[in-house]
Amino acid sequence: MRIEFEITKKCNDVCPSCGMGAQSLQAGRSLPDAQLDHLLAEFADVGLPSVAITGGEPFVAMRALLRFMSQARGIVEISKLTTNGIWGSRLWTGSPASSTTW
Ligand code: SF4
C-alpha cells in the first residue's frame, strides 16, 4: 500500500495540460512543517510501508522536502518522487537555502 501526497501546490512551470492543479510560485502553498509532522505520525501509526511525493513541483519546496525525507527515514519508504526536473536545469540555483524563497 502506498499513499501519495502533494508536498506543495507551487510549480515553476505553467504546463497548459497540468492535471495537478499546480499554482505559481507566488500563489501556491506548501504543507507546513507541523502538518508534515502530523502526516508522518499518522503514517507510523498505521504502519504505512510507502509514500509517493508529488506537487506542484516538490523541489521548489526543497527545505520541507529534505526535512520530510530525513524524518521519514526508518518510518516509511519514499518510493516515488515526481518531479519536472527543475533540479537539473539551468534555472536551478542549487542550494536548499536559496530555494526556500520559492
Ligand atoms: S511541471 Fe507538472 S505540476 Fe508543474 S505545471 Fe507542469 S504538469 Fe503541472
Does residue 39 form part of some domain?
yes
Q: 2 or 92, which is more confident?
A: 2
Is the model's pLDDT at 65 over the cut of 50? Answer: yes
Tell me if residue 24 falls in helix, strand or coil: coil
In a domain, 98, yes or no: no
- Which residue range forms the structural domain that includes residue 40? 2-88
Residue 101 lies inside a defined structural domain of this protein: no
Residue 54 CA to residue 31 CA, distance in Å, equals 12
Atom of ligand 1 nearest to the CA of 17: 7
Please tell me the number of Cα atoms within 13 Å of 50 on its side-chain side: 6
pLDDT band at 87 (very low <50, low <70, confident <90, very high): confident
The label of the residue with cell 539551468 reads 90
Number of domains in the chain: 1
Sheet containing strand 50-54, edge to edge, reads 2-6, 50-54, 77-81
Q: 56 C-alpha to center of ligand 1: Å?
A: 6
What are 2-61's pLDDT values in tens digits? 999 999 999 999 999 999 999 999 999 999 999 999 999 999 999 999 999 999 999 999
Residue 100 lies in a domain: no
Please report whether residue 93 resides in a domain: no
Tell me whether residue 21 is exposed, middle or buried, using C-beta atoms within 10 angstroms of its C-beta: 0 to 12, 13 to 18, 19 or more: exposed
45 belongs to a structural domain: yes
